[in-house]
Amino acid sequence: MRREDCFYLGHFSRLHGIWGELIAALDTDRPEAYYHLESVLVERHAELVPFFVEASTVNARGQLILQLEEVGPEAAPALVGASLYLPLSQLPPLSGKQFYFHEVMGWPVYRHDGALLGHVQGFQESGAQPLFQIADDQRSTPMLIPAIDAFISSVNRSEQAIYLQELPEGLLEL
């Protein structure tokens, strides 16, 4: 499977016990949606390799512990640090103002008055919040606007467009 057809789920952070189980550090706001996986794609040597999940449990800290088929105590240490992926088709659907970063790439972004601000070029992760990188034809660098509910009026999936609230004065000039 191609990486562009998948989403990053997390990585194997460490071993668990002596039987080849691995703790999966999930990079998601809803880890419970992935507690009962049937399979997972593991990045090995720049390729995504499918592994079936033999057993999965959740420890007291809410961490997912996976036992992969045909991965025993000898092979498991080589998977620590490996990235985990799933096909995009396994993403839970979102509604309202929620969106996946990959979903809105290239979408137009409109100001509160209906004027086109630009298109989503990417995202910048900051300590406090993710930022939209919005490109337009007039600027040499993208505009950075917080991708937070307070600034988003709506996410229109049928139009594939994002509508913003009235932004604080001076934000677009930064």
The pLDDT value given to residue 156: 95
pLDDT at 92 over 90: no
Give the CA angle between residues 72, 35, 21 to the nearest 5°.
15
3-state secondary structure the chain: CCHHHEEEEEEEEEEECCCCEEEEEECCCCHHHHCCCCEEEEEECCEEEEEEEEEEEECCCCCEEEEECCCCCCCHHHHCCCEEEEEHHHCCCCCCCCCCHHHHCCCEEECCCCCEEEEEEEEEECCCCEEEEEECCCCCCCEEEECCCCCEEEEECCCCEEEECCCCCCHHHC
pLDDT at 174 over 70: no
The pLDDT value given to residue 75: 96
The pLDDT value given to residue 70: 95
Residue that is written with structure tokens 């932004």 in the block: 167
Q: Contact, 149 vs 98, CB < 8 A? A: no
Task: Give the separation between CA 105 and CA 120, rounded to whole angstroms.
Answer: 5
> What is the percent of the chain where pLDDT is above 70?
99
pLDDT at 126 over 80: no
pTM above 0.85, yes or no: no
Residue that is written with structure tokens 């007291």 in the block: 60
Task: Give the separation between CA 75 and CA 79, rounded to whole angstroms.
Answer: 7
Q: Which amino acid is at 108?
A: P
pLDDT at 94 over 90: no
